[in-house]
Structure 1
C-alpha cells in the first residue's frame, strides 16, 4: 500500500547521490517500522506514465514506541527518471507516494558475528543493519568490506566513520577503491572472486561468521558469493541483494514452449479473479490490466516486490535476482518475470 509522505530532509552525499528522509505521521508509525535491510518503493507519475523505483532504508530501525522516519539513499542512474528527479528537484516539504517497507534482505538484531561485502550504493541497507545491530546487541560484532570507485564517490562516508569511532572494538572496516590509489590500506582494484578468496581468510574466521550480507552490482555480488562458497561457507549463511545488473552480465532463462491459451487466477488482498494471459506478457502485466494495486517496483527481477506463491500450474521465470533458492523450492516466483508454461496458472500474493 502506498501513502503520501512529506519529505523532511534532502542531504547531498556525493555529486551523484542524496539521502532523503520522510516524515511519517504518528498513525502510520507502525506501518513504516522496518527491519534493517528492507527497502521502500517510491512512485510518481510523469506525463500520465507511472514510475516506480525501490530504494533501501539506511536509517537505524526505530524501537518500540519510537517515531518512524525512514531515510533512503538514492544514487543517480544514467537515464534514470526517478533518481534524476530526486537529486535535482526533490525538496523539503514535497510529498512522495511511498510503499510500506518490504524485502527479505534483512538482519534481525541478535548476538553474533556478521560480515558484509558491498559495492557502491550497496552500503545503504547494510548501514541500517550495522547501526541497529551494534546499538541493540552488546555481544554482536560486524565486519564491513566495501568497494567504491573513489573517496569522493563514497556514499555515507562520514556515517560509517562515526560507527567505527563509536564501536572500535566491535566494528571492523575495510575499504577498497577501484579507481584511486591510497597511501594506506588495500591496493586499488576491483573486489573480484579471486581477490576476495585471498583477502577474506586474512580478515575473518570466514566459516564461523553467522551471516554474510552481499549487496551491490551483480558482478560484485556473484563474485563474492562464489568466493565464499569456495571457502566453505554454507549457502544458508549467505544473503544477497543486487542493486544493478550490467547488460549481458547475467543469463536469461531460455524460452520454454508456451501454451496457445492460458488463464491466470490470482488471490490478492483477499480477493480472487481470473483473466486470460495475452501473448508475450508477464503474469504481473496480466494482473495489472485488472488490478492496479498489484505489488511491483522494478519489473526487472531484482527487488522481489512482486513475489507470489505458485498455487498450481507451471511457469517460466526469465530472470531471478531476488528470491533465495529456499524460496523458489518452496514454490515462490517473481510475477514480473513469470510466463505461463501450462494452460492454467494460479498465484497467491497473500502468502
Structure 2
C-alpha cells in the first residue's frame, strides 16, 4: 500500500545524485520503521502511466518510539524517468507516494565483525547498516571497501568521513577510484575478481567475517562474490543486492530455452484473498495477477528489487533471471513473480508467506 509522504529536504550529493528526506506522520511511525539495508518503493504518474522505482534508505534505524527517519539516496541513470525527475525537479514541499520499507538485504545490529564491498550508489543501504551497527553495538566492527569513479562522483563522502572520526577503532575504510589517482590508498583501477582476491585477505580475516554485504553494479558484486567464495567465505554469510542491471533475460536462462505449456492457469493468494486466472501467452505471473489485482506488490519488474517475491505452493515455474533472491530463498521455494513463467499447466503462488 502506498502512502503520500511530504518531502522535507532534497540535498545535492554530487552532480547526478541527491539525498531525499521524507516526513513521516505520527500515525505511520510503526509502518515506516526500517531495518538497516531495506529500501522504499516510490511511485509517480507520468502521462497517465505509473512509474515505480526502489531506493535504499541511507539513514540509520531509530529506537522504538522515536520518529523514523526516511532518507534515500537517488542517482540519475540514463533514461531513468524517476531518477531524472528526483535529481532535477523534486523539491522540499512536494509529495511522493511511498510503500513501507521492504527487502531482505539487511543487517540488524549485533556483536560481530562485518564487511561490505560497494560500488557507486551501492553505498546507500550499507551506510544505514554501518551507522546503526556502530552506534548501537559497542562489540561490533565494520570494514567498508568502496569503489567509485572519482572523488567528485562519490556519494555520502561526509557521512562516511564522520564514521571514521566517531569510530576510529571499529570502522575501517578502504577506497578505490577507477578513473582518478589518490594521494594515498589504493592505486586507481576497477575492483575485479583478481584484485579483490589479493586485497581482501590483506585487510581482514575473510573466513571469520560474520557477514559480507555486497552492493552495486552486477560486475562488481559478481566479482566480489567469486573472490570471497574462492577465499573460503561461507556462502550463508554473503549477502548481495544488485543495482542497475541491463534489461532483457539473463543469458542462457531456463525460460529462454524451454517452451511454456500451451495453456496455463495461475492461482495466487494476496492479502488473504485467492483467485485463479489464465496466464496469457508471454506474460509473467506478476502480469497475470495485475490484470485482476492492482495491489500486487512490485517495483522494478526487472528481477532486482525482490518486491514481488512469492512462495511457490505447487506447480513449476521458470525465472528469466534472479538478482534479488539468495540461494537459501530459492531452495526454500521462493520465486520472483515478475520473472516467472509457468512450466506446468497449473501454478499456485502465495504472496503472503
The aligned residue for residue 298 of structure 2 is 296
4+ runs deviating over 3 angstroms = 246-250
Judged with a 3 Å threshold, the aligned counterparts in structure 2 of structure 1 residues 284 and 246 are, in CA distance, closer, same or farther, namely closer
- After superposition, the C-alpha distances for 1:52-95 in whole angstroms (9 at most, x for unaligned) are 00000000001111101210000000010000100111111110
Query: What is the root-mean-square deviation in Å for CA atoms of aligned residues?
Result: 1.0
Answer yes or no: is the 8 Å Cα contact 1:219–1:249 preserved in 2: no
In 2 relative to 1, CA 110–81 (structure 1 residues): closer, same or farther, beyond 3 Å?
Answer: same
Q: Does 1:325 align with 2:333?
A: no
Output aligned runs, 1:201-350, within 5 Å: 201-246=201-246, 250-254=250-254, 255=256, 256-350=258-352
Mapped pair 1:46 → 2:56: no
Tell me the distance in 1 between the aligned counterparts of 2:134 and 2:231.
27
Matched, 1:88 2:88: yes
Aligned residue for 1:168?
Answer: 168
- Structure 1 residues not aligned, in runs of 5+: none
What does residue 189 of structure 1 align with?
189
Task: Check conservation: 1:301, 1:336, Cα contact below 8 A.
Answer: yes
Aligned partner of 2:26 in structure 1 is: 26
Give TM-score scaled by structure 2 length.
Answer: 0.98
Q: Per-residue deviation at 1:257? A: 2.2
1:74 partner SS = strand
TM-score (normalised: structure 1): 0.99
Structure 1 residue 251: Cα displacement: 2.7
CA contact (8 A) 1:7 1:22 kept: yes
Aligned to 1:199: 199
Q: 1:3 aligns to what? A: 3
Tell me the distance in 2 between the aligned counterparts of 1:283 and 1:124.
Answer: 31
> C-alpha deviations, 1:23-51, integer Å up to 9, x for none?
00001000100000000000001111000
Secondary structure of the equivalent of 1:227? helix
Unaligned 5+ runs, structure 2: none
Answer whether contact 2:250 2:320 (CA < 8 A) is retained. no
Q: SS state of the match for residue 290, structure 1?
A: coil
- Give the match for residue 74 of structure 1: 74
Q: Which segment drifts farther, 247-256 or 31-40?
A: 247-256
